[in-house]
Structures are given as structure tokens and as C-alpha cells.
Structure 1
Amino acid sequence: MHKKVAVILSGCGVYDGAEIHESVITLLRLDQRGAQVQCFAPNVPQLHVVDHYSGDEMDQQRNVLVEAARIARGNIKDVRELHVGEFDALIMPGGFGVAKNLSDFAISGVHCQVQADVQAAVQAFAKAGKPVGLICIAPALTAKLFGPGVTCTIGNDHDTAAAIAQMGAVHQECPVDEIVEDSTHKLVSTPAYMLAQSISQAAAGINKLVDRVLELTQQ
């Protein structure tokens, strides 16, 4: 039986949305493993828009759901339509959109709040005991999503790891091609572009994360 996996995106583009390489690697690996995938994103404005060529902020307004639809080739739904009973697992790729659009971590740090619809969706999976995969910067939200004591990784960035610990989660250092698993919470995380110097390095850890998340759906 094919597993059904929800993927939450945060826009389109590393600096103001979902990291495109991480998102595509995730979707590719899920497809290679025979999973049925549905992408979701919150129907909210982006924090800001960044010119990915110059790195400068642009005087534009964009919508997270509309931008994320670029990655999903239009096959995407409002995260409010994400019902945990219809899926076996959930995965969230990284990109600054996680810290800017799915939360305000980029601005508020340890005092951040997760976007309400995203928080409700992820916590529903946690409450149901269904596996969740968090990639790149997404594990920075772990304590807000799973509560204190949960274990995760963003690699080895000292400042981000310290923030994770201050919020109540346990950070475990991890190389780019490995994963960290909290078996109690069925949570899997990997550093991806928090450490990766190439798309193949990012893929090494993401592929392991996807494989492990799918394995956990059997338990």
C-alpha cells in the first residue's frame, strides 16, 4: 500500500521561501519510494521578497501559497485543508521561509511563534503518533511544535543550536549526510543546506530522512 505524505512548503526560494533544492529532493525521493504526496502551504503574505540574484530586498508583496505552487507545479493546497487522518507522515523542507513565513524565528528568535495553521497541522501529526521529518532550519521550531525535551539537529551552527536549547529542545550535532531521530516523538531531522556545500551533499541526508520517515510509518 502506498504511503501518503504531506509536505509543507514556505514559499519559493531560499532567502524568502522554501529552499528549492531541498524541496525538490524531498519530492523526488518520496516519488522514488512510491509515496503519494500532497504539498501544502499557508495562505498568508510573505514577510518580504528577496531578489535572489542581487540578494537585495524588493518592494513587492507575494503570497506564500501562490509562490509555493511554483515548486508543486500547481498541485498544492492551503495548509488549513491538511487533515492528519488522510496522511501517514509529514515532511517540512527548509529555507528562510520557515523562519520568516511559517514562523517569526528570523525576527523573534527564541521568543518566536509558529504560524497558527502550520502549528496546528504539525501538532496533529505529533499527537497522532505519526512520523514527521524536519529539514535544514525547520528543526529550529521543534520545541514550539513538540514541546520541551524533544531531540533534533540543524547540524552544528552554534547560535541556532543554542536557541533551540533555550527554547527547550535538545540539539544533537550531525554531519550533512546523516539524520537524527527522536524515537519517542517519531521525529527525524537532517542539516541539509545548514551544512551542505552542494546539492548532492544535501541529498545524502534528505534521502536518508525520507527513507526513515517512511520506515516509521510501518511502526
Structure 2
Amino acid sequence: MSKKVAVILSGCGVYDGAEIHESVITLLRLDQRGAEVQCFAPNVPQLHVVDHYSGDEMNEIRNVLVESARIARGQIKDVKLLHMAEFDALILPGGFGVAKNLSDFATSGAGCTVQPDVLAACKAFVDAGKPVGLICIAPALAAKIFGAGVICTIGNDADTASALTQMGAEHHECEVSEIVEDEARKLVTTPAYMLAKSIAEAASGINKLVDRVLELAHH
């Protein structure tokens, strides 16, 4: 029996939204494994908009849900409509949108808060004991979602790992091709583009994460 997986996106584009390669790899692997997927995103303005060609900030306002719909080919819902009971697992790809739109980690660091609708959705999966996968920078939200003592990885970036530790997480260093699992909490994390030098390297860890999340959903 195929599993239903919710994927929360944070916009469209590495510098101000969801990392497109990570998102597509996640969706591709879920489809290859026969999972039924529904994408979600918060219906809120982006922190800012970045010109991905020049790297400059643009004088423009964009909506996280509208931008995320680009990756989901329009098949996306407001995260307020994410009903945990309808799904077996949850995955959040990375990209700066996680730190800028799903939370304010980019500006507040260890003192950050998670966007309320996203936090409520994530906590519902945790409370139900359903598996969660956090990719790239998304584990920055782990301590806010799971509480102190949660085990996770963002790879080996010392400054980011320090912020996670300040928030109460237990950070484990990890190679790009590997995953870190908190067995007690059914949380799976992988560094992806925190370390990846190519799309193939990013995929090596993401595929393992998706496979493990689906295994946990079957248990």
C-alpha cells in the first residue's frame, strides 16, 4: 500500500525560497518509491526577493505559496489545510526560504521562531509519532519542532551547528551522502546543499532520507 507524504515548500529558489534541486529530487524519489505526495506552503509574503542571476535583493514582493506553486506545478495547498491524519510522513526540503519564510532563523539565529502554521503542522506529525525528514538547512527548525535533545545534522558547518546546539539540538556531523536518524523521534536529516558540490551529491543523501522516511512510515 502506497504511503501519503506531505512536503512543505518555502518558495522557489535557493536564495529566497525552497532549493529547487532538493525539492525536485525529493518529489522524484517519492514518486519512484510509489508514494502519493501533496505539497504545501504558508500563504505569507516572502522576507524578500533575490535576483538569482546577480545575487542582489529586488524591490519586489512575492508570496511563498504562489512561488512554491512553480515547483509543485500548481498542485499545492495552503499549509493551514495540512491535516496530519491524511498523511503518513512529512518532509521539508531546504533552501534559504526555510530560514527566511518558514522561520526567521536567517535574521534571529538561535532566538528564532517558526511560522505558526508551519510549526502547528510539523508538531502534529511529531505528536502522532509519524516520521519527519528535514533536508539541508531545515534541521535548523528541529529543536523548535521536537524540543531539546533532538538529534540532527546540517553537515559540518560550525557556525550553524553552534546555533542548533544553542537551541537545544544535538548536532551530529555527517557526510553529504549520508543521513542522521533520531530513532526515538523518527526524525531523519541530511546535509544536501549544505555540503553538496553537485546535484548528484545532493541526491545521494536525499534519496537515502526519502527511503528511510518511507521505511519508518511502514513500521
Normalising by the residue count of structure 2, what TM-score does the alignment of the two structures yield?
Answer: 1.00
Task: Name 1:40's counterpart in structure 2.
Answer: 40
**Residue 98 of structure 1: aligned partner:** 98
Kindly provide the amino acid, as one letter, of the partner of residue 97 in structure 2: G
TM-score, scaled relative to structure 1: 1.00
| Residue 172, structure 1, aligned to residue 177, structure 2 | no
Which amino acid in structure 2 is aligned with residue 139 of structure 1?
P
RMSD, matched Cα? 0.3
Structure 1 runs (4+) greater than 3 angstroms displaced: none
Encode CA deviations 1:109-136: one digit per residue, 9 max, x unaligned: 0000000000000000000000000000
Q: Which residue of 1 aligns with 2:111?
A: 111
Matching residue of 1:77: 77
* Map of 2:188 onto structure 1: 188
Correspondence 1:45-60 to 2 at 5 A: 45-60=45-60
Equivalent position of 1:202 in the other structure? 202
- Matching residue's letter, 2:164: I
What secondary structure does 1:30 align onto? helix
- SS at the partner of 2:218? coil
Structure 2 unaligned spans of 5+:
none
Structure 1's unaligned 5+ residue stretches are none
- Per-residue CA deviation, residues 8-52 of structure 1 (Å, 9 max, x unaligned), is 000000000000000000000000000000000000000000000
Q: Find the counterpart in structure 1 of residue 155 from structure 2.
A: 155
Per-residue CA deviation, residues 52-107 of structure 1 (Å, 9 max, x unaligned), is 00000000000000000000000000000000000000000000000000000000
Residue identity (%): 79
Aligned pairs, how many? 219
Match of 2:122 in 1: 122
Give the secondary structure class of the aligned counterpart of 1:149: coil
Partner of 1:6: 6
Q: Deviations over 1:131-187 (max 9, x none)?
A: 000000000111011000000000000000000000001000000000000000000
